[in-house]
């Protein structure tokens, strides 16, 4: 599962690839709990076991989706 986080005043998004056993519902619940405390930090663990923390006050948006194994590049992409 992929999570994309937009951060205020940052040129790039933060892309995190979570472990395959993590469900979308669990991630959404974690995000909602973290946003209940705007001064808190939301923590994610990627598929390699690294922990990534983002201050909730700096988050512009969060996009949660499934991993797209069939990413296309070039003229045939649609």
User: Residue 5 is inside which H or E element, if any?
Assistant: strand 2-7
Query: Could you read off the pLDDT of 45-70 as tens digits, one per residue?
Result: 999 999 999 999 999 999 998 655 55
72 in a domain, yes or no?
no
Mean pLDDT over all residues of the chain? 87
CA distance 45 to 58: 19
More confident residue, 75 or 29: 29
76 in a domain, yes or no?
no
User: Residue 60 is inside which H or E element, if any?
Assistant: strand 59-65
CATH of the domain at 28: 2.30.30
74 in a domain, yes or no?
no
Beta-ladder partners of 63: 4
Measuring CA to CA, which residue among 21, 29, 18 is closest to residue 52?
18
CA distance 5 to 10: 11
Total domains present in the chain:
1
User: Where in the sequence is the domain holding 56, given as residue range(s)?
Assistant: 2-65
More confident residue, 16 or 69: 16
The pTM assigned to this predicted structure is 0.77
């Amino acid at each position: 599962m992929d999570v994309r986080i937009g951060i205020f005043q940052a040129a790039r998004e933060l892309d995190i690839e979570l472990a395959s056993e993590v469900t979308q519902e669990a991630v959404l619940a974690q995000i909602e709990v973290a946003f209940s405390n705007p001064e808190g930090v939301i923590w994610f663990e990627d598929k390699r076991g690294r922990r990534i923390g983002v201050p909730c006050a700096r988050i512009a948006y969060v996009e949660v989706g499934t991993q797209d194994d069939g990413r296309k590049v070039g003229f045939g992409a649609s």
